[in-house]
Structure 1
Amino acid sequence: MIRCLSYSQGEIVDIEPNIISEKINNKNLLWVDLENPNDFEIKILSESFRFHPLTIEDCLHRKQRSKIEDYQNYYFIVMNVFKGRKLEKEFINSEIFIFVSKTYVVTVHWSKMELIDVIYKKATVTTNIFERGIDFLLYSIMDGVIDDYFPVVDEIGEKIDEIEEGIFKKDDNVVYNKIFTLKKNMLKLRKIITAQREILNTFLRHDFTLIKEENRLYFMDIYDHIMRLFDLIDTYYDLLTGTLDLYMSSISNRMNEIMKTLTIITTIMMPLTLITGIYGMNFKNMPELNTEYGYFVTLAFMGLIALWEILYFKKKKWL
């Protein structure tokens, strides 16, 4: 699917793909959005905009790391967008490919993105975005991408609280698997945010002429958001590490309790086993063997020994 917006002299119009080249030559401000493009729509990138084959190849192969590349007439930007909210499973993200120059922004993505739909709808009904320049349109897109990570990070905090509550309720591997998966996803998230911070560093350089001075503050605001994400991720990562230590301690405590119980049982059984072992020997001249009530006396004696041991352990608070 392709949609095109053209802005000129305070007027915003939807245009057909076949007149994109004409609008580019007339220096109109353009936003061309390609969602899950077909072969014909991909050709627009090479024939109408004459983008470098390497950038088009990146769009087709996907699975790209966030980056920015200078191709003289335009900049090629890759940003990672979070997809899905099931953090207990593997982290899923998608890419948005952005071509930007002083007169146009071209966005390419292979799945539906709500943030793009929201910005596109806003750009359609108001001239405010285009009036501030093509760099402000770029800011709106990037700000939407970065802000979409905050609900993810907030959910991470909730998951950590949930895991901490479950540590003392479960003694299986479910909690450990949740911790391990969440920790893995947080490392992946931090890696993505780190790469996107480098893009903002490029934009904030004063020799980066694509960004107008009056709009530079907006990109500084995105940078502040990224740094907040870093702080939150680092804080939650430390909390998760502490949660893992707490989980391992609880497992160790449970094991110690089990070993303590088994040790007490073994200690109680030791003298009883000794007595039964002695009277289990097959010697003929053992006087107690012929006693009429020897069996019952021995059982009673063994019971007294066991009772005495239990009382002693309770007195020492070992039970």
Structure 2
Amino acid sequence: MARTRLYRNGVLAAENFPLADVSDHVDDPSCTIWFDLCSPTPAELAVISEELGLHELAVEDVLHDRQRPKLDVYDKHLFLAVYSERMEPETGRLTPTEIDVFITGNALVTVRESQRFDIEAVVRRWDASKDMAKHGVGFLLHGLLDYIVDGHFEVVQALDEQIEHLEDQLFDDGPVSRDLQRRTFAMRKNLVGLRRVVTPMREVVSGLLRRDLHVVEPAMAPYFQDVYDHVLRVAEWTDTLRDLVGNIRETSMTQQSHHMNTIMKQVTSWAAIIAVPTMITGFYGQNVPYPGSEQPIGFWTSTILIIIASVGLYLAFRKRGWL
């Protein structure tokens, strides 16, 4: 069932009425109409298109998923495509939900991709500032965009906290774990997806502030400017976090290389220490006469040489930090 509302002279007059009654109010300048559709069929969109005179290209964009966030201007209406982001608590992945919006002089139509976007939260936001309903479509559009951008802000803040946790794990003792590498890659993937959503929002909100579109009344302009400031903060924060994740990945690779070098130095040092006794015992094991051959002094001489050389090499390598 479509969610509908009717404001008359800035006061909520009716809600949840049938879509067939939209035509009774759409020509009344004192009325502001909002209705919401969730995963509508082409037939349902055709009815709305006929009622409001929507452009066929805008209706086609609704039927094709994964539109780029944008603002299209047509003769009789505006078409807005935006995305809400939600982080799945189980997997930590970001799930985008497309929301398409048709904006006319006194009507706002929201078309949701799925039920993941909580439209009732937007309605509660409208009710919390119902004294501003007199500003018509601009009031409804501000509440919708403000809720979506606040959702982006919450997501990027959660990602920031996760990155701080990754940074703490990065400098733990021991080698870099495979889990840290996997989470770093997943974090970068989330940030790339989020950036595709939030970066074009700057153009969308700034486009709505254009005076020639007559969407935002002067009284609503500061509120839309506040949304625009939040969009800029989210976009800049997203770029900063993406750079941080890149730095974490580079630091992780550097630590792995450093850890490998440390292991190689340790192995080489022990190999050098073992090589000296091997050389001495091999020399004394020759089948030719040599000083101390077949005499106790030869055994003690080789033993002392082994101990002195091994301890000397160990101390030398230890002093250089190889062991």
Aligning the two structures, in what range does the TM-score lie when normalised by the shorter sequence? 0.7 to 0.9
Count of residue pairs the alignment pairs up: 317
How high is the sequence identity, in percent, across the aligned residues? Answer: 27
* Larger CA deviation: 287-296 vs 308-317: 287-296
2:5, 2:34 → 1: CA distance? 5
Question: Deviation string for 1:212-257 (max 9, x for gaps)?
Answer: 2221121111111111113322333333333333323322321222
> What residue ranges of structure 1 are gaps of 5+ in the alignment?
none
User: Partner letter of residue 310 of structure 1?
Assistant: Y
Q: Shift of the alpha carbon at 1:171?
A: 2.2
> Which is worse superposed, 249-258 or 221-230?
249-258
Instruction: Describe the SS at the equivalent of 2:75.
Output: coil
Question: 1:111 and 2:114 equivalent?
Answer: yes
Q: Distance in 1 between matches of 2:253 and 2:216?
A: 51
- Is contact 1:2–1:37 with CA below 8 Å preserved after alignment? no
Deviations 1:13-36 (A, max 9, x none): 021122122222334311010123
**Equivalent residues of 1:3, 1:34 under 8 A apart:** yes
Give CA-to-partner distance per residue, 1:66-101, whole Å, 9 cap, x none. 011112111010001102246975543121000001
Equivalent runs, 1:12-161 vs 2, <5 Å: 12-14=13-15, 15-27=17-29, 28-38=31-41, 41-85=44-88, 90-113=93-116, 115-123=118-126, 127-161=130-164
Question: Partners of 2:116 and 2:155 in 1: how far apart?
Answer: 16
1:64 aligned counterpart, secondary structure: coil
Partner of 2:2: 2
Cα distance change of structure 1 residues 44 and 126 upon mapping to structure 2, 3 Å threshold: farther
Residue 8 of structure 1: how far off its partner (Å): 1.8
Equivalence for 1:223 = 228
Question: d(CA) in 1 for partners of 2:157 and 2:280?
Answer: 64
SS of 2:7's equivalent in the other structure is strand
- Structure 1 Cα separation of the partners of residues 180 and 158 of structure 2: 17
Distance 2:111 2:322 in 1: 68
CA–CA separation in structure 2 for the residues paired with 1:33 and 1:120: 11
Using a 3 Å threshold, how does the CA distance of structure 1 residues 121 and 316 change in structure 2: closer, same or farther?
A: closer
Cα 1:230–1:11, aligned 2, differ >3 Å: closer, same or farther? closer
Q: Deviations over 1:102-131 (max 9, x none)?
A: 110000002225552122245468743432
TM-score (norm 2): 0.86
Q: Partners of 2:18 and 2:118 in 1: how far apart? A: 23
Structure 1 residue 45: deviation in Å? 2.3
Counterpart contact for 1:115–1:144, Cα < 8 Å: no
Instruction: Check the 8 A contact 1:2/1:41 in 2, yes or no.
Output: no
Partner Cα distance (1:172, 1:60) in 2 = 44
Picking from 264, 267, 279, the partner of 1:262 is: 267
In structure 2, the residue corresponding to 1:158 is in which secondary structure? helix
